[in-house]
Each structure stands twice: as C-alpha cells, then as structure tokens.
A and B are shown apart, each in its own frame.
Chain A
Amino acid sequence: MRAFVNTVRKLFRTDMRFRFGVIALGFLLIFVLLSFFSPYDPRSSYYVPISRPPSLKYLFGTTGRGQDLFWLLTFALKNSLIFGLEVALLSRIIAIITGVVAGYRGGTIIDNVLTLFCDTFVVLPIFPILVFLRLVARGMTFSTLAVVLALFGWPWDARLIRAQVLSLRERKFTLTAVFSGKSIFDLIFSEYLLHILPIVLATTINNMLWSLGLEITLSILGLTPLDIPTMGTVTYWAIQQQAMVTGAWWWILFPIVFIILLFTSLYLLVTSLTSFINPQLRSINMREVGR
C-alpha cells in the first residue's frame, strides 16, 4: 500500500500526462458528485424555459427540451462513468481467467483453443452485431448493454495477461513454489495476480475508453434507452432537435467538451501508466479507429 502511494506520488511529480490526467479526472469526479445536489429530476423535462443561452442562472444554458444543461450533464457523466466501470469490471473477470489459464497452460491444447477464441473475438465486427441486438431488444437497459459489451471486450486484454503469465511461469520462483508444494490456485492468487495487477489496471482504463466510445456512438444513433441521461444520449437529443441549425450552440458544445475532456484524461492516464509499467506495451492502445 505504501509502495503504491509512493509510486503514484512519483508519477504525479515526474509525468506531466499523469498529472493532467489525475487533475482532469478529479475535476470530472467533483462534477459528478454535484449530481447529488441537483434540484431537478434527471429524467424530467420542460421544467425551465427552453433554449436559453448560458447565463448566471443557467450556467451551461438550457436545452430545447427545457432541461438545465449543467445539472443534466452531472447526471450524464455519472451514468456514463458507471456504465464504463460496469463493462470494465465484468470483462476484467473474463480476461483475467482466460489470460491466466491460457498463460499457465502455455503451449497446450487448452492454450491453443483459448488463443483461437481470443483471435476470433478480436476480429469479430462488434458494431453491426450490437446494432442488430439493439434492434430486436429495444427495451434493453444500460446494465444489460454493459453485460453484452463485457462479453465482447475481453480478448485484447486476455492476450496481454496471457503473455505476462507465460513469462512469469518461466521464472525461478514458480519452480520453487511448485516444488515446495504450493497449489496452482494458491500460486496464481498469491503470486501471479500481484504481478499482473498493473496491466489489469491499465487495460481497465483502456476498456472504459472503448465501452464509453461505443455507448456514445450507439446513443447518438438512438439505440440506447434515450430517457436516461448519458454523455451519448444528451448529444443525441442535441443532434435530434437540430441544435446546430437552431443556433443553440451551447447544447452541443458543452457535451462535446466534456466528452473530449473525459476521454483525453483517461487516455493520458493509460499512456502514462503503460509506459511506466513497460514501454513496449504502449501498443495496447490500438483499438481507436472503430470507436
């Protein structure tokens, strides 16, 4: 724990990316906490005059649906972050189990089969499949969507964990542990998990970037529960009600600014973390284009 705090402190001092990421994310978290003090119900509309530009009374202006954009965004950011965390945690479970098993059984049939599955899921074009799923299951909630995304979001990270475990297995301490009678589970939980923790942390953030990007894309297409404010659905309503054409620029500007701030801070954190863990691992961020 002490070492962890020291590392964070050192990263904060030496790495500009880390510093910016932490500060920006801290700012966003404070913003999220504000949602608990909101005077309005996030799902209601037409409680303030529509389409007012930003002023002291309405900090970010009001939407064309009569909502106070400032308070609406606090909820949207909270819901989006929760969604991202749900996907990340669930897919971490699959990734860790697959990665550790494949790595520990490296070279055997089990490993080959698992790697084959990883390769397959990496290639699978998930976006059309999600669109199809959403079409037939209109009533799907964000939590169910999170489960579905988790089922698709693990292979990249499982491969990384596998590679790490594969190299851990060759180390002397594995032999020592096995010869002194440690069971495999004990070995994995007490030794390996600690070693793969940094990678898991980095890939968690990476996974959030991916799932949040998909959430926003699906929402803007109108394929998520649109009455629940998320970063994506807020943008959806702005586009849907022609905010650009009617001149309500604040309605689309503020969501986009917050989206960019959120993604940039997460991205900076993950690049800083991965180059701290291992400079060679920087290429794990290769999943941008499809978002």
Chain B
Amino acid sequence: MRDFLGFLKYFIKRLLVSLLVIFIGVSVVFLIPRLVPGANPAEMAIRRLQMSGAYLPAESVEKMKQALLKLYGLEGSLFSQYIRFWREVLRGNLGPSFASFPTPVITLISRSLPWTVGLLALTTILSWFTGTILGGIAGYKNKGVWIRVVEIFSNAVRPIPYYILALLLLILFAYVLGWFPTGGAYQIGLAPTLSWSFLKSVVKYGFLPAISLIIVGVGAWFLNMENLVSNITGEYFVRFARQMGLRDPIILKSYVMRLAMPAQLTGLGLQLGFVFNGTIITEIVFNYPGLGTLIYTAIMQSDYNLVMGTTLFSIVAVALATLIVDLLLPLIDPRIQYVQG
C-alpha cells in the first residue's frame, strides 16, 4: 500500500510537469502573434496581398481584415480568444492549411508523422543502447583500442553544431562520393507498398539521415555513461564485489550498469525534446518528408496555420513522450517508489 501511494505521488508529480509543459507551450504559442508588434497574421496577409500589387479600396480592406480576424480566431477579448484557442487545441482542430487549402493541418501532420516517428524511434533506441553499453564498458575497464577510438570520435563530434555535421555528411556522401541520394525518403515513382523494392529504397534513402542522428546520439550517450560508470566503479561495493571474486562481466552488468541505468534513462527523458529538434533539422537537411520538412515548407510558404499547428503538435508530443519515459523509470529503479518526490 505504501508502495502504491509512493508511486502515485511520483506519478502525479511527473504528470504535473507534462501538463505544465503543454500549458506553457500552448500559451506561448497563443501569445506570440498577439503580443509581438506587427505580428498580427491577418494584417500580415493583407500586407502581402498589397505588396503583390493588388489595389484594394479601404473599405474592402477593412472587411477582409474582419473576415481574416475571425478566421484566425483573433476577435473578441484576449481572454475569450484564449478559451476558444484551448477548446480548438483540445479538439485537435488546428485549422486549415493555407498553402494547400482546405486540407486541415492535422491531416498534413498525420501524413508526415510516420516518417518522423520511424526515424526518431529507430535512431534513438539504437544510439541509446549502443552508447550506453559501450560507455559502460569504457568507464569500467581500462580501454581497448576500439573503445579509445569511440571516445576520441565522440569528443570530436560533440561540439560541432548538428546542422553542420549533417551538412558535412550530405556533402561528403551524397555530392562528393555519390553513394547515397541527396534527399527524399524513397525513389520517385515507386508506390508506397510493402514490396521488396520499395523497402530497399526506403532503407537506402533513410540511411544517411539515420546515420547522422546515430553518430551524434551514440557520442552523447557514450560520454554520459562513461562518466557515470567511472564514478560508480570507485564505490566500495564494487571493490567488495571484486574482492569476492565475482567476474567482471557480472559486476559490470548487475552492479555497475544497473546503478547507472536510472540516470541514463532520466537523461533520455530530458533529452527527448532535444532529440526531437535534431530529427526536425535532419529532415530539413536531407529533405526527408517528415514533420521537419513540413515545417520548413510551411515557413517558405508563410503558411501560418501549418507552422502553428506543427509547433503545438511538437509540444504535446514531446510532453507525452517524456511522461512515458518517466513512467518507465520506476520499473528500472525500485528506489523511486520510496523516495519522497
């Protein structure tokens, strides 16, 4: 019973953080176009029209402005706008896209989501496991040649901004060497079915984006885990286990790695937002048809609703994913249920 209450307390606290993330994120997105001077999307649309050379009499400008204000949900007091905004967000109604009118934003998102989730899930899981295991070995034992190579490599890659790294990979492998295509998710003209040639093409096109994310991810997790483990290895209970004559693999697996796991998993939860950003940038660099490319084309076309919709969606998605990681944590770290908070 006490266990359950402890868990409940932990759960509520984590839930609160996720809800707060959504609340603050959505509120910021609500406030930005209303507080930033000159950022009123209705006026922006009219200005764009006028700039393209269309002559508009004053009264029709005023009429159009009213219609646009209504369309953007910008009429009424700030508070009533806010309530309305939340209602639509909770309903999942993000409005129509303007560039591909009248397709709802949510349809566009759900069309590109599988690519992002696929890339994100695959690379995160792969790099988290690889980095954690290699880092554990590196932190525990004196290093072999390969571990040294990974260590130097991780340190070298780490400070480089991700965009630049992805760009370098693209230039090297797609332009100079020509091993991989310069963009896209599968060969143009292939129908997205479960055929062999389609899958082969997906792997070929996805390889470069995936490998760029994995390089960065493995490096980060490796260094973090190495640091954690080398701290744990100095503890008395590890020395004791050694003196008992336990074999190294057992100590490493059941004593050291196990203790480092919660911190590493918490890191995963905290990093999710950043990992997500990374995926968005990858897609833009490699022209991969996921959320990132959707955002990018929306910027290019000044598709206000689409950018706002993807932003809102990203906030909610990251908050929920973080919550899931947090809820998995007690399964790995039994102490969490007892510690207050």
Contacts and interface: CB of A to CB of B under 8 A. Distances in A.
27 contacts: A120-B20, A120-B21, A124-B24, A125-B276, A125-B318, A128-B295, A129-B28, A129-B32, A129-B311, A131-B307, A132-B308, A133-B32, A133-B36, A220-B163, A259-B160, A259-B164, A260-B164, A280-B231, A282-B223, A283-B224, A286-B267, A288-B220, A289-B213, A289-B216, A289-B275, A289-B278, A290-B271
Nearest to B285: A220
B322 interface: yes
B332 interface: no
Contacts of B231: 279-280
A150 interface: no
A129 B39 contact: no
Chain A CB within 10 A, most for which of B44, B267, B271, B318: B271
B160 A136 contact: no
Interface in B11-55: 16-18, 20-21, 24-25, 28-29, 32-33, 36, 38-39, 41, 44
A139 B38 contact: yes
Interface in A215-256: 216-217, 220-223, 235, 239, 244, 252, 256
A256 B164 contact: yes
Nearest to A267: B159
Main SS class of interface, B: helix
Contacts of B280: 127-128
Contacts, number: 171
Given A122-B270, A137-B39, A289 B20 contact: no
A132 B217 contact: no
Given A221-B284, A290-B274, A135 B307 contact: yes
A131 B281 CA distance: 12
Given A131-B311, A133-B36, A137-B39, A212 B273 contact: no
Interface in B134-190: 155-156, 158-164, 167-168, 171, 175
Given A125-B318, A135-B299, A291 B273 contact: no
B161 A123 contact: no
Nearest to B161: A213
A287 B308 CA distance: 25
Interface string B266-294: 01001111111110110010000000000
A291 B304 contact: no
Given A124-B21, A213-B161, A287 B227 contact: no
Interface in A120-159: 120-129, 131-133, 135-137, 139
Interface residues of A, number: 53
For the complex of A and B, the 10 pairs showing the least CB-CB separation, nearest first, are A290-B274, A267-B159, A136-B39, A290-B277, A127-B277, A213-B161, A263-B159, A128-B311, A128-B314, A125-B273
A285 interface: yes
A209 interface: yes
B310 interface: yes
A263 B271 CA distance: 20
A131 B295 contact: yes
B159 A286 contact: no
Contact of B278 (A120, A136, A221, A290): A290
B302 interface: yes
Contacts of B314: 125, 128
A123 B164 contact: no
B182 to A, nearest CB: 10
Interface in A73-130: 116-117, 119-129
B228 interface: yes
Interface residues of B, number: 66
Contacts of B216: 288-289
B21 A128 contact: no
Contact of A209 (B41, B159, B277, B284): B159
Contacts of B36: 133, 136-137
B220 A289 contact: yes
B329 interface: no
A266 interface: yes
A264 interface: yes
A283 B232 CA distance: 14
Nearest to B216: A289
B43 to A, nearest CB: 11
B315 interface: yes
A126 B318 contact: no
B296 interface: yes
A237 to B, nearest CB: 14
B319 interface: yes
Given A128-B295, A217-B281, 20 more contacts: A122-B270, A122-B273, A123-B273, A124-B25, A125-B25, A125-B315, A129-B311, A129-B315, A137-B36, A216-B161, A217-B161, A223-B299, A244-B171, A259-B161, A263-B160, A283-B267, A286-B271, A288-B216, A288-B220, A291-B162
